[in-house]
Structure 1
Amino acid sequence: MPALALGAGTASQGLYSDKSETLRDFPLQSHIQHVQPITGIVFWEDSGRNETDAIQLEYSYMRYGDIVSRKGEYDWAPVDKKLQDIAGRKHQAILRFYFVYPGDPTTVPAYIKALPYYRETTALSEKKTTGFPDWSHPELKRFVKEFYTRFAEHYDRDPRLAFLQTGFGLWAEYHIYDGPLKLGGTFPDKEFQAEFLRHMAATFKFTPWSISVDAADEEVTPLAGNTELLDLPFGLFDDSFLCKQHVKENEQNWNALDRERLRRSPGGGEFSYYNKRDQKLALAPNGPNGVSFETSAREFHISYMIGSDQPQYQSMARIQQAGLACGYKFRVLKFQVGDHSARVTVANEGIAPIYHDAFAAVNGVRAGGSLKGLAPGESATFDIASGGASPRLTIESDRLVPGQHIEFEAAL
């Protein structure tokens, strides 16, 4: 069953109302023809297949050490180039910084690695020689909090950035399932994890940030059953979506981290790589394990799903179709207009809210209330200080890049 308590409620959110003039119903026809911004199937930014409107989002890992090598000195050029290249394709970015990747040294900044008493661990993970940070050292803890403070100063309002993912362990996915897991050593202790999550919540005011559903592991993290931490506004990503054991394992993690949070924070992930079948059949009618992507996406209120290998198995038309099944989908239920004002009712017929501010606008004049957070099955009514004989209704957002547009359905 869906986790969100979906409803059919209507809220009045307009801040303007001209009660002196009579409003008339205005005819309106509109159709959603493209995957909507901030939603859909996601390709890796270096996939070479990104020049398409079948997607709206691109994903990239990032290394901390590429941004900082000396204490307090930040070079954001690698991030800016990544964001600019992606925006140039009329897409937005999902970024994830990591410290540990199997087969590689850590991405801990060089100045920390050179400090006295900082001792990394080198061990096998996925049969590859892998570096693990030393989370006993106070400078590493101080640095990672400072890093996200500085990152937010630069990018928290940046329309090129849709979502941010973060975490610890292998691929920043909140686990070391293969390798030396030691809290306070190769993995942060629970006390610092809680401190870090609170810091993220206090630091990011506009860009949604997410952690892995594997953070539900009560032996490794402090989240499970902790009401205060679960109230923090983090979203969730699931990097083995549609795997065979999803119901027994992944879904339990979603539940432990409170799926109601998807009213205010995004849900996403990546199609499972447990075996070739998971990728090959991810967008097949019955999925790889008997459940279609569209069915699972609706159940977990998915806004985005990384599927960079899908062009090997599916047409761009099918990828676009799957993308259209993600996230929000707005329908205008009523549009009334006077000489100087208008009233519009907008419903969300999608499977998740929009997580950035977006506004109904008439002739470029925006409503006072935002569509952000409007849950599936809900609607909102807005009064707008513009009308006239030929009004133009749009949905506008400052979190879009040039070439992106929020569309809506209407048959009035």
Structure 2
Amino acid sequence: MNCRSSLSGLLGLWVGFVSTISFADDLQAIPLKSKIANVQPMTGIVLWTANEETRTAPIQLEFSYLSYDQIVGEQGEYHWAPVEKILDAVAGRKHQAVLRWHDTYVGKPTGVPAYIKSLPDYRETVANSEKKRTGFPDWSHPELRRFVLEFFGRFAEKYDHDPRLAFVQVGFGLWSEYHIYDGPMKLGKTFPSVEFQREFAERLNEGFHQTPWMISVDAAGDHAPFAADKKLLALPFGVFDDSFNHARHGQENEPNWNRLGRDRWKVAPAGGEFSFFDPRDQKAALSPAGPHGVAFPQQAAKFHVSFIIGDDQPRFQNPERIREAGLACGYRFRVTQFVASASRAVVTIQNTGIAPIYHDAFPAVNGVRSQDSLRGLLPTQSRTFQVTAGGGAPILTIESDRLVRGQRIEFDADLR
């Protein structure tokens, strides 16, 4: 064979090889029909863990308060059994937890560990709050301040990556809502100094890398450092509003949302609780016009909330109404493109919800995940994902290591 013939033969083999590759990687549209039927993980109406309705209600999240003295009695001795009990019970119902740590609760002693209370120079205040005798911590004592920083370091180390835990709420004052509106409000004594509040926030940011932490919108006041400190405002904390839908929300609460940053929801969750100011706030929270003329889906979209505590809602609304309200919260995914070859797939997903998902979630084909995450995909935005799996009848799912057994992220799709 002469050289010209040899080159011609090699060229023919190469063209055939390239054609085979091209044919093997010929992306074809994959028909896909799917509809979101359930409230999505880490979103929706939230019930307290003690509510019997948690077993059957259309929810994904459960809420619980915890105090420091439930975990620590003696210095350096941490017993996490109360946390484990709550998280296991919640996960057993195929839900995740929102936990809030508190030091001051109306009508109760403080949540300060016994070893600190026994120190000779530690002096708490007991005074009326909402006509109930209430304990207020001694924030002037250095051991209390040191302990709280240590506590959240230990808690983050143990639970930051735990799928049973969706969000953590923290703060000071009554119910950790960053206020003492009724009682002895004394900075540096019954409420932490501004300097310690700043150190506290910075330490939380150092400890939590996966689980979002949240503070009350009341932290926007002059008794706290956040609104006037650009460095603190840059921290990725979320906010919760425990009087979300009361009559004067626009005049009294919304300015606090503004001071803490109305775009904060783009990087950290927004949530809260239906108000108790007026009986209508609970009874009509999910009525078509809301308690004061604004429907819940409209209010939720305005503030881009992912969840709202509504423990009384099963008393006032049927499961379908609660499900609809839950679906109006947080993220919602729609698949707008799904094409595949024998060896790979391309998927485009749009967020049609009102907030991002705040944990990693990955489109997966036949169980093979994309390298890119849906985390942070904003409402109306789309993201295209490459997956190294395909085939003639590929199966598309959305997977996340932050789900508990029995949870599933659903999606809408109508591809032909």
Q: How big is each residue's C-alpha offset from its partner over 1:77-136, in whole Å with a ceiling of 9 and x where there is no partner?
A: 000000000111011000001011111100100000011211000100000000000000
The answer to whether 1:188 aligns with 2:209 is no
Distance 1:93 1:159 in 2: 9
SS in 2 for 1:62: strand
2:321 corresponds to: 318
Contact persistence 2:103–2:137 (CA under 8 A): yes
Does the 8 A contact of 2:363 with 2:397 survive in 1?
yes
> Aligned runs of 1:61-80 on 2, under 5 Å?
61-80=65-84
Is the 1:35–1:53 Cα contact (8 Å) retained in structure 2? no
Q: Of the candidates 293, 296, 304, which is equivalent to residue 293 of structure 1?
A: 296
Aligned-partner residue type, residue 360 of structure 1: P
Residue from 244, 261, 271 that aligns with 2:247: 244
Q: Displacement, 1:259?
A: 1.7
Residue 397 of structure 1: which of 396, 400, 408 is its match?
Answer: 400
Matched, 1:353 2:356: yes
Which of 138, 141, 144 is 2:142 aligned to? 138
Shift of 1:185: 0.2
TM-aligned CA deviation for residue 53 of structure 1:
5.0
- SS of residue in 1 equivalent to 2:76: coil
Q: Would the aligned equivalents of 1:159 and 1:398 in 2 still touch at CA under 8 Å? A: yes
Report the more deviating stretch, 22-31 or 354-363: 22-31
Of residues 230-239 and 18-27 in structure 1, the stretch that sits farther from structure 2 once superposed is 18-27
Match of 1:88 among 82, 87, 92: 92
Counterpart position of 1:174:
178
Return the offset for 1:225.
Answer: 2.5
Asked if 2 retains the 8 angstrom alpha-carbon contact of 1:40 and 1:303, the reply is yes
Letter in 1 for 2:309: I
Where does residue 330 of structure 1 map in the other structure?
333
Match of 2:54 in 1: 50
**Equivalent of 1:364, from 364, 367, 376?**
367
Q: Structure 2 CA distance, aligned partners of 1:368 and 1:236? A: 30
Secondary structure of the equivalent of 1:259? coil
Report if the CA contact (8 A) 2:57-2:319 is conserved: no
The residue that corresponds to 1:258 in the other structure is 261
Residues 269-306 of structure 1, C-alpha deviation per residue, up to 9 Å, x if partnerless? 00000011111110011101110110000000010000
Q: In 2, Cα distance between the equivalents of 1:156 and 1:222?
A: 25
Distance 2:120 2:264 in 1: 42
Q: Distance in 2 between matches of 1:47 and 1:276?
A: 20
Distance 1:232 1:302 in 2: 19
Instruction: Classify the secondary structure of the residue corresponding to 2:154.
Output: helix
Please tell me whether the aligned partners of residues 357 and 374 of structure 2 are also in contact (alpha carbons under 8 angstroms). Answer: yes
Q: Give the AA of the match of 2:46.
A: V
Structure with higher RCO (Cα < 8 A, 6+ apart) = 1
Quote the residue 2:162 is aligned against.
158
> What is the CA-CA distance between 1:21 and the residue it aligns to?
1.8
C-alpha distance in structure 1 between counterparts of 2:262 and 2:50, whole Å: 32
Q: Secondary structure at the match of 1:34?
A: coil
> Counterpart in 1 of 2:12?
none
Residues 164, 207 of structure 1: 8 Å contact kept = yes
Query: Is the 1:34–1:53 contact (alpha carbons within 8 Å) kept by the matching residues of 2?
Result: no
Query: How many angstroms apart in 2 are the aligned matches of 1:255 and 1:233?
Result: 16
1:35 corresponds, among 39, 44, 47, to 39
The question of 1:387 aligning with 2:390 is answered yes
Say which of 309, 314, 323 aligns to 2:312: 309
- Larger radius of gyration between Structure 1 and Structure 2: 2
What SS does the aligned partner of 1:49 have?
Answer: helix
Normalized against structure 2, the TM-score is what?
A: 0.94
Which has the higher mean CA deviation after the structures are superposed, 20-29 or 306-315? 20-29
Could you say what secondary structure the match of 1:240 adopts? Answer: coil
Q: Which residue does the alignment assign to 1:60?
A: 64
**C-alpha deviation, 1:178, in angstroms:** 0.1
Corresponding position of 1:8: none
Structure 2: gaps spanning 5 or more residues: 1-20
SS in structure 2 of the partner of residue 247 of structure 1 = helix
Task: Please tell me whether the aligned partners of residues 263 and 352 of structure 1 are also in contact (alpha carbons under 8 angstroms).
Answer: yes
Corresponding residue for 1:375?
378
Matched, 1:129 2:133: yes
> How far apart are the structure 2 equivalents of 1:224 and 1:157?
29
Partner of 1:154, secondary structure, is: helix
Q: CA deviation digits over 1:230-280, x for unaligned, max 9?
A: 000100000001101100011100010002111110000000000111111
AA matched with 1:108: V
Question: Does 1:24 pair with 2:28?
Answer: yes
Tell me if structure 2 keeps the 8 A contact 1:39–1:304.
yes
Q: Output the CA distance in 2 between the equivalents of 1:356 and 1:249.
A: 31
Distance across 2 between alignment mates of 1:275 and 1:158: 37
Amino acid at match of 1:178: D
